[in-house]
């Protein structure tokens, strides 16, 4: 079994030619949020992942094996609830309101400009429908936010559309 213990966010700095040759693993959110797990790669090889506690693996990340081999992570489609605002009676602001209420319940949530995603929960689905949100069960990848106290990538002094500034944390 090959062991992987290093994570390169989104394969940053790696040549495309290397990424194209890398084996892949397709993992759902339940597995990707664990720092230690076993799986099988696209070549049929057993893989053991041993990351620092609290590290979360995202779709597009690359794992580095003990022999230097690369393993690209793909986010598997999984059952999620896709939440949008009612185009007849609502507005984009309703998504903000829904995200607020879900956040108060500490629900893992994926935030997009035009929709939200959460793991299936009939009680939350009913609450959202009562808020006049459209809730649809779909199979899609799930990339929830890390949260205020979750893992953060280093971004001090990064640029925003032509300007940069330091972040004090």
Give the model's pLDDT for residue 166: 52
The answer on 66 and 11 residing in a single domain is yes
CATH label of the domain that carries residue 96: 3.30.70.790
Domain assignment of residue 148, yes or no: no
pLDDT digits 0-9 by tens, 43-76: 999 999 999 998 999 999 999 999 999 999 999 9
CATH label of the domain that carries residue 69: 2.60.260.20
The answer on 7 and 66 residing in a single domain is yes
The answer on 67 and 6 residing in a single domain is yes
Buried b / exposed e over 5-35, threshold 16 CB at 10 Å, is: bebeeebeeeeeeeeeebbebbbebebbbee
Give me the number of domains the chain comprises: 2
Name the pLDDT band for 148 (thresholds 50, 70, 90).
low
Closest to 46 (Cα-Cα) out of 20, 65, 18? 65
pLDDT digits 0-9 by tens, 85-113: 998 888 889 999 999 999 999 999 999 99
- Average per-residue pLDDT in the chain? 89
Give the model's pLDDT for residue 90: 83
Give the pLDDT mean for 134-148.
90
Last residue of a domain, one of 75, 96, 122: 75
Give the model's pLDDT for residue 89: 83
Q: 91 is in which domain, residue-wise?
A: 78-140
Angle at the Cα of 63 (from 157 to 10), degrees rounded to 5? Answer: 40
Last residue of a domain, one of 26, 58, 75: 75
Identify whether the C-beta of residue 83 lies closer than 8 Å to the C-beta of residue 95. Answer: yes
The answer on 16 and 41 residing in a single domain is yes
Domain assignment of residue 159, yes or no: no
Rounded CA-CA distance 166/169 in Å is 10
């Amino acid at each position: 079994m090959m062991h992987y213990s290093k994570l390169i966010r989104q394969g940053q700095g790696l040549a495309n030619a290397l990424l194209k040759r890398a084996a892949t693993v397709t993992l759902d959110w339940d597995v990707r949020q664990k720092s230690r797990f076993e799986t099988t790669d696209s070549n049929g090889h057993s893989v053991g992942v041993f990351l620092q506690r609290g590290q979360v693996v995202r779709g597009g990340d690359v794992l580095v094996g003990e022999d230097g081999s690369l393993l690209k992570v793909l986010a598997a489609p999984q059952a999620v609830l896709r939440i949008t605002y009612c185009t007849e009676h609502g507005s984009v602001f309703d998504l903000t309101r829904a995200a607020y209420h879900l956040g108060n319940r500490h629900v893992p949530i994926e935030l997009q400009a035009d929709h939200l995603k959460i793991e299936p929960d009939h009680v939350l689905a009913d609450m959202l429908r009562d808020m006049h949100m459209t809730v649809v069960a779909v199979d899609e990848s799930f990339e929830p936010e890390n949260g205020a106290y979750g893992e953060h990538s280093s971004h001090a002094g990064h640029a925003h559309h032509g300007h940069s500034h330091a972040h004090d944390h």
